[in-house]
Chains A and B, each alone.
Chain A
Amino acid sequence: MVDYAILLIALPLFAAFLIPLVAMVNKNWPKYIPILVTAFNSVLSINLLLYLNAHNGTPFIVKIGGFIPPFGINLFIGYLAIILLMLISFVGLMISLYTINTVKDAESRYYMLFILLLMGVTGLVITGDLFNMFVFLEITSISAYSLTAYKRDGLSLEASMKYILIGSLASVFVLIGIGVIYYSTHTLNIADISNHINTVPKYIKMFSLSMLLIGLAIEAELFPVNGWVPDVYQASPTPVTTIFSSIVVKATIYVFFRVLFTVFRADLTVMNFVMGLGVITLLIGEISALKQVNIKRMLAYSSIGQVGLIVIAISSYSSMGVAGGIYQMINHAIFKGILFLGTAYMITSVSGTGKISDLKGIAQKMPISSFIVSFSIIALLGVPPLTGFWAKMMILSSVMSSGHQIIVALILFATVVEAVYYLKFIAVIYDSSEITNSFKSTIKFNKIVPIVLFALTIILFSVVPQFLVKFQDVLLKAANELTNVSSYISIVLGS
């Protein structure tokens, strides 16, 4: 039995509330708790993967409290959920490692919010209940608001304020959407709603779809409702930014498409609309990044662009496209992990204000991190045979086969723009003139280790072909879990 899967949520929740108690015993202990929790979750998700492999890869449900699905809350765990879980726990583990001694005056509540954020995200990707989803979304959002404001300077408070403003709008929209759907179908279980969605009058269905789409688009950073993103990314402590970019947005994209694909059985009109959103998000994000002077802001816009790419891929609705989108999610989580953590490490070493020009010539002093950052940029740009290339291949081929030649051209164009600003950044860090800023040469292993591990992951994904081939099968199965509604229903509700 796999009922222990509930521990994925329960243990972090327990750990989060344990932190104040631990802090009372020893002030230094709380910072190790996120590491333990994420490590535990990593082990657990690997365990689930093994279980899934042993059972022909058929997704399974976990009934909470033993209630049968339409009446109780259930978790839905397949390859897709496990990929995301592993991503969350792995990236979470890396960031927890990195966080030690990073955030100034990190108190116990910082770690508490941190774990809560991870917990919310974990819940989002495995729950099978719409309202439960909303609850996890709120947990994620509220811990995110607080973490954004954690530095308590003007910038972060302002950003947090904007985030709350827009985020609460999102909550309202989501809640209205869920309310309408509950009113017409009298159920909150995703599979059950999906079973009954065709009996709902079209305009009610469409209204509820629009509401949920708007609300989730805000969380998933889609243009034009992603105004909060650059500010929040810039103002948050770097580990938090990394979590936003690598994990939170991935989970919300998952939710976005789970709702569209499974709950509403969205058709081509909806998907074309979403793809349009994706294209605009991609273009605006990449073009805006071109002239940024602040490194975190540049990476934020780049994240927006990448979100656009993932959304385009998944909204192409073909199994190859969705698989490519999921692949790109993984890639992007790793790349952005390296980029945010690596550049933050560099910035703290020169005690800069976060401007790109502060990092001039840093490569002479920090060769390893500079090399890894540049390497991940090159992989992100999709230079073959690195991992970014394979994901892009899958995405492009599926978008092309769905007949959108122009969109393929636009994606490629956006990649060129992306190459411009990223390579300019490499140009700055590899500038051979003298470093003007004061440089503190302290090698911190807890900062180097996550970056190196991330880089090893890239190499694993890039140059081990046997692994790649197997991985592609897994991706296709994961894509199938997202797009195949009838199998979802039959697994949850029984045939």
Chain B
Amino acid sequence: MNVLRTIALILSLGFLSSILFYKIRELRNLSIIASLSVALGFVIKFFGIYTGIKRAFSYKDLFYFKFDAFSNFFVVLILGVGLLAILASWNYMKEKKGETFFYVFFMLTILGMVGLVYSRDMLSFFIGWEVMTMGSFLVILQSNEKDRFKFALRYFIISLIGAYSLLWSMFIIYNKVHSFKFSAFNSSVFTKGELTTLLITISIGFLIKAAIMPFHTWASGAYSRSPLTFTAFFSGAMSKMGIYGLFIFLYGSIGLSAIYKTGYNEFFQTSYFQYTLVWLGVITAFLGTLRAILSEDIRVMLAYSSVGQLGYMLIGIGLGSTLGLTATLFHVVTHGLFKTSLFIVVAAIIHRTGKTKFHELGGLINNMPIAFIATLISIITLAGIPPLGGFATKWLLYEAMIEKRMFFATAITMLASIGAFLYAYRLIQNLFLGQRKLEHDDVKPAPLTMQIAMLIPALGMVFLGFFPNLLIKYTNLFIELINIDFFKLGVKVTDTAFTNSYGYWNAFYLGSAVVIIFIVSTIYYNLQRRAKIYKIGQLDIYTAGEYVTRETPLNYSFNFYGFIFDSLKPAIKYSVTNFITRISKEFIALSDFVRRIYTGNGQHYAIFTMIFTIITLIYFLS
């Protein structure tokens, strides 16, 4: 039996049942969840085992699919995050407008993504890519936001530009090598200029999907206006497709030596193209973080956070070394985990309170303890604080950048990750801590399915913090698979200790030390004679004479980092979004001008005919 056909069959059944039972909530959701989990189990079971099972599938030499560790890594992410998101949607989307079609299009998106990840030729890749874009566009439309169409449209149009940039390069390649297969790419038939153009157009296609600056303008709107459980998937799994695409096109198909042909820099031991990618990633990481710090809407903040985090992944891709790619893949997983968790937490909060701004919330820790724990773990991972999983990415990435001697880039990236700490703190402070609003006294905990969906990734993050080597084992497995031309520099992984030529870090020892110290401190703290503890309310505080009541709680949350905003005011008014908006306005003005060619006057049309006649005659008779 062909393992790919089986997976396709299972997922298609899930898709069909989402259509057939679109009105019967329990049956529909259960069948989708069953289909996704069976597929997931199937992929995990055969993750690295190939014997006895056909693992490639092709049709008429046009469509070619392959089942290997490289694809499985991403498929596990897609199905896993998809499963969590659908689980969370069970309660989140319940009795909301658009509930019925939400699942249909969600499954369509997943189908497209799984298809594109398993594909080993550009044509099926593109088909999967477009199905994914279309599916996600349609899912965004199922939300209840008033302005969803505006942002969905922006997302779709920009995605379309990216996709067509990709399509164009596909045809350029096809025209020369006469095959759509990734493996058929042959750099010797291209000139240096053609290769450079190809690299640029291909990257634009993927950078748009990954929302890398300056192609990020769709991200904040699309992420924040989707149904939020879908955003968890959107940001947690779908944005990674841009990264996957870069992986397979740049390193799996075109190959490092061909990229080097376009211009190699001895000092940075990399090509100028890759160097540009790194800096794009650095700028995205930094500016995305800055925008996130200054956001007042939770969803927008998480959206910009995603933009920033994708920047880190791009840096790893741009470095192109084993260490860099490992960092990227590691971050793909950790970001998938914490963003899924965070978006589901935010979905739960918005679901329960209906508030989307930081300053409208606060003090929910006692109402939503599970959500608080999930958020805490997630932001520790997000900020990359050891001993949780996020630090592994940071360490790998910085070591990889230092290894390539990109010190300036490293410095800015590190600053960006400090910035991540700033906005991450708002998530916990302005949502869960501080003084609770009177109207939120009766807020119930997050619904059960959402609690499950937010806790599972949190466990994953803790696990990865102590045993990052287990994931590294898999990333190494498929970095070999996509045939990177060189293995000169690498990270040595012995158990949980990471070593490279610059530094070292032992995750397990460090994590254990932290845990032991924590336990010792707690014991020490509690060893002292137990004193009577008075729990006092949040109104019994030092207020410097201010009179605080439940009706007027004192919270510091609006314009939290106003200092930064004030300091950077002159720079902040310039934004790519404004620039793009202006360009599109100008273009519409142009279209209005072009439209006036059709004056509606018959005589003008006759004159056009005459002019055309003259031009034609001149052209043909000369």
Contact = CB atoms under 8 A, between A and B. Distances in A.
Report if A and B touch in the complex (beta carbons < 8 A).
yes
Interface of A: 161-162, 165-166, 169, 173, 203, 206-207, 209-210, 213-214, 217-218, 224-225, 227-228, 230-231, 270, 273, 284, 287-288, 290-292, 378, 383-385, 389, 393, 396-397, 400-401, 405, 408-409, 412-413, 415-417, 419-420, 423-424, 427, 430-432, 465, 469
Contacts of B617: 207, 210
Given A169-B609, A412-B168, A432 B620 contact: no
Nearest to B126: A384
Given A224-B611, A384-B127, A384-B131, A416 B160 contact: yes
Contacts of B141: 430
Contacts of A397: 171, 174-175
A417 B595 CA distance: 14
Nearest to B589: A291
Interface stretch (B342-350, B380-388, B502-510, B600-608): B600-608
Interface in B114-149: 123, 126-127, 130-131, 134, 141, 149
B153 interface: yes
Given A173-B613, A210-B617, A412-B167, 10 more contacts: A166-B606, A166-B609, A203-B621, A206-B620, A270-B620, A287-B594, A384-B126, A396-B167, A397-B174, A420-B157
B414 interface: no
B549 interface: no
A75 B167 CA distance: 41
B600 A231 contact: yes
A291 B591 contact: yes
Nearest to B622: A206
Given A408-B171, A416-B157, A292 B620 contact: no
Contacts of A227: 598-599, 602, 604-605, 608
Interface in B567-607: 588, 590-592, 594-595, 597-600, 602, 604-606
B532 interface: no
Contacts of B164: 412-413, 415-416
B175 A401 contact: yes
Nearest to A286: B591
Contact of A424 (B131, B153, B613): B153
A228 B157 contact: no
5 contacts: A169-B609, A400-B172, A419-B157, A420-B157, A427-B153
Contacts of A228: 602, 605
Nearest to A273: B619
Contact of B591 (A290, A383, A423): A290
B431 to A, nearest CB: 29
A341 B616 CA distance: 37
B473 interface: no
A266 to B, nearest CB: 10
B171 A396 contact: yes
B606 A169 contact: yes
Given A408-B168, A416-B157, A166 B621 contact: no
Contacts of B597: 224, 284, 288
Nearest to A224: B608
Contact of A165 (B131, B595, B602): B602
B609 A400 contact: no
Contacts of B160: 415-416, 419
B612 interface: yes
A278 to B, nearest CB: 14
Contacts of A214: 609, 612-613, 616
Contact of A210 (B175, B591, B616): B616
Interface residues of B, number: 47
B447 to A, nearest CB: 25
A430 B138 CA distance: 12
Given A287-B594, A419-B160, A210 B621 contact: yes
Contacts of A393: 123
Question: Chain A's interface: helix, strand, loop or mixed, by majority?
Answer: helix
A210 B620 contact: yes
A423 B156 contact: yes
B161 interface: yes
A225 B172 contact: no
Contacts of B604: 227
B379 to A, nearest CB: 35
A268 to B, nearest CB: 13
A416 B608 CA distance: 28
A213 B616 contact: yes
A217 B590 CA distance: 26
A383 B595 CA distance: 27
Nearest to B604: A227
B171 A287 contact: no
B168 A409 contact: yes
Contacts of A469: 60
Contact of A378 (B134, B172, B594, B598): B134
- In this complex, the member of A207, A270, A419 whose beta carbon has the largest number of chain B beta carbons within 10 angstroms is A419
A400 B606 contact: no
Contacts of B123: 393
B492 interface: no
A198 B59 CA distance: 46
Contacts of A412: 164, 167-168
B23 interface: no
Contacts of B134: 378, 383
Shortest 5 CB-CB distances between A and B: which pairs? A227-B605, A412-B164, A290-B591, A162-B602, A384-B127
B97 interface: yes
Contacts of A273: 616, 619-620
Contacts of B594: 284, 287-288
Given A227-B598, A231-B600, A383-B134, A218 B609 contact: yes
Contacts of B602: 161-162, 165-166, 227-228
Nearest to A209: B620
A209 B617 CA distance: 9
Contact of A166 (B172, B590, B598, B605): B605
B157 to A, nearest CB: 6
A152 B311 CA distance: 63
A393 B124 CA distance: 12
B75 to A, nearest CB: 20
